[in-house]
Structure 1
Amino acid sequence: MQQHDRTEFASGHQFLEGLRWHDGRLWASDFFSREVLTFAADGSATTVAVVDGAPSGLGFLPDGTPLVVSQAGATVERIESDGTLSTFAEFGTIAGGPGNDMLVTHEGHIYVGNFGFAIGAEDPKPTSLGHIDPQGTLTAVEGDVLFPNGMAITPDGKLLLAETFRHRITSFDVGADGTLSNQQVWAQLGESYNPDGIALDSDGGIWFGNALVEGDDSGFYRVVEGGEITDKVPVPDAQAIACAFGGDDLATLYLACNATTLADFVQGKSSATIATASVGRAGAPGSAGG
């Protein structure tokens, strides 16, 4: 397994998730400060919006309008140019817990996950992934998923989904109308791997944050279809949560690293940094959606 070093890029945050590179800037959600943030080249942050229900997944409509998941409300919110929010769609009818990560395609199809249970208070249980079409109509994707998390679109038209508590990356075929079908296991991982946020590289590998672990097992890993682990960025001092390729030619891997434990997370305690790594591969254009 090839290992890569990381360099600190930004610090002073709480619990960062949902990293996205869009229009020359890195975006992130801070669960506990309730802010949607963008980052300049020097790592300084600007607050774009405040989400009272706590922000999670991020995406962008075809016209560039930012969208954010409100966890508590299980809604997808539009972020207007002045930072105010307006509800674009609701998905609480299919959510078994707080809203989670999201992917928005260039055509305006939205795929959104939810915890499925009250983390720290209930045992994990399956839920449904949501598909919201460009008109705002919600459909539950056929087939259950267990803690659906990060997503990516492959060049050959598959949606890849991290199922954190099933220790795997799952694939769906994406239809011309945006519907998902043919759920299959793309990569089954060992029990010590809990994939959270993911990023697809131009060689077809998935980079994932290995959540809920500490020490030597903590880090960002690269897996290829079938389950072989090829690379790692160690993060022994924090939990590895979300990642995104960005920068010139998508050649930089940005890494959200949150120093917390499950018990502290439930109480809203965490300290977050963003790091960067050069991993010898670039991101796959368009894989993170619109």
Structure 2
Amino acid sequence: MTVLLNDLVIGESPRWHDDRLWFCHWGAHEIIAVGLDGDSEVVLRDPEISPHSIDWLPDGRLLIVPKNAEPKGRLLRQEPDGSLVGHADLSGLPSGFNEIVVDGRGNVYVNGADFDFLAFLERLQSEGPDAMNVPLRDRPDFVPGYIALITPDGTARQVADGIEFPNGMVVTPDNGTLIISESFAGRLTAFDIAADGSLSNRRVWADGLGPDGICLDADGAIWTSIGETDCVRVREGGEVLQRIELDRSPFACMLGGPDRRTLFIMAARWNPADPFGGPRTGQVLVVPAPAPGVGRP
């Protein structure tokens, strides 16, 4: 394992695109792109929207979930001239977008909840150590999340609910399955994708994890997090095939490189009292992977 980039606040939503790793630099309001040689570029800095997660439409236009939804909207699209515009009419969807993935047909899936995570953590800390004896999903102030679909014609609708803190999502190469991290439940959950983008046949894909941002490889295994500081490669059913021990928390991972056999891990020391202040502990770590990345993102 080597360090590709240092001195970050928190790196999130990594994507391999146009021969570089792109990611959102939380706390700095940036989108950064970096090559395997470590040469990095800030491709967007905008404190007004503060990019939260990203993906691309099939025509190459960038989609951005902003942390600050006003005034431009909850899902933005970057036009060829660099301008940012609202993407589709989302007025019928719940608030609070978090993660995004675009499938091979141009369907956009977003997840989220009407839920202030940082305020939730503040209340948890104020209650003292005994509060941690109650699972986070069982707290009375927790609000379950959802998955929403935005089709290429701009139609938007909710396609799943009851997601226990929705996080990273992947879509299989055949566009037939969507897998999502339910972080507060410690599991990966799978859905079948219908021809119209609807989700059905909800099932547990793997349990006993601590999943956040995820990616899929050609052997059908998923890279994710488990515990506080471990990144693992897990197959359906929950068997851990490989474990990488870190000295800080893995927030997300992505398979990329010329043959997609490079695992990028976004890691940082989480400070719940001041997540975006204090020492910059964020890193992009690089590890050779046993199988290439497939699917979306």
For 2:257, the equivalent position in structure 1 comes to 247
- TM-score where L is the length of structure 2: 0.85
User: 1:121 aligns to what SS in structure 2?
Assistant: helix
Distance change >3 Å, CA 82–CA 14, structure 1 → 2: farther
Shift of 1:102: 0.5
Shift of 1:275: 0.7
Distance change >3 Å, CA 249–CA 259, structure 1 → 2: same
Distance change >3 Å, CA 92–CA 11, structure 1 → 2: farther
Kindly provide the amino acid, as one letter, of the partner of residue 288 in structure 1. R
In the TM superposition, what whole-angstrom CA distance separates every residue of 1:90-144 from its partner, at most 9, and x where no partner exists? Answer: 64754353x2110011221011112541113234320211111112221111332
For 2:61, the equivalent position in structure 1 comes to 65
- Structure 2, unmatched stretches of 5+, are 121-140
CA distance in 2, matches of 1:64, 1:275: 26
- Structure 1, unmatched stretches of 5+, are 1-5
Residues 1:226 and 2:218 are matched in the alignment: no
Higher Cα radius of gyration = 2
Shift of 1:82: 4.6
For 1:3, the equivalent position in structure 2 comes to none
Counterpart of 1:164 (choices 176, 180, 183) is 183
Distance change >3 Å, CA 84–CA 271, structure 1 → 2: farther
Is contact 2:26-2:276 (8 Å) kept?
no
Shift of 1:53: 2.7
CA distance in 2, matches of 1:209, 1:55: 23
Is contact 1:187-1:227 (8 Å) kept?
yes
- TM-score where L is the length of structure 1: 0.86
Is contact 1:7-1:277 (8 Å) kept?
yes
Counterpart of 1:288 (choices 270, 289, 296) is 296
Shift of 1:148: 1.0
Counterpart of 1:48 (choices 29, 43, 48) is 43
- Residues 187-198 of structure 1 correspond to what in structure 2 (within 5 A)? 187-189=206-208, 193-198=209-214
For 1:37, the equivalent position in structure 2 comes to 32
Distance change >3 Å, CA 177–CA 169, structure 1 → 2: same
Residues 1:132 and 2:143 are matched in the alignment: no
CA distance in 1, matches of 2:110, 2:278: 23
Kindly, what percent of the aligned residue pairs are identical?
A: 34
CA distance in 2, matches of 1:143, 1:233: 32
Shift of 1:34: 0.9
Shift of 1:160: 0.6
CA distance in 1, matches of 2:276, 2:31: 20
CA RMSD in angstroms comes to 2.1
CA distance in 2, matches of 1:10, 1:90: 37
Residue correspondences, number: 272
Distance change >3 Å, CA 91–CA 12, structure 1 → 2: farther
For 1:275, the equivalent position in structure 2 comes to 285
In the TM superposition, what whole-angstrom CA distance separates every residue of 1:254-279 from its partner, at most 9, and x where no partner exists? Answer: 11012222222276875311010013
CA distance in 2, matches of 1:268, 1:102: 28
CA distance in 1, matches of 2:25, 2:180: 22
Distance change >3 Å, CA 125–CA 54, structure 1 → 2: same
Shift of 1:45: 2.0
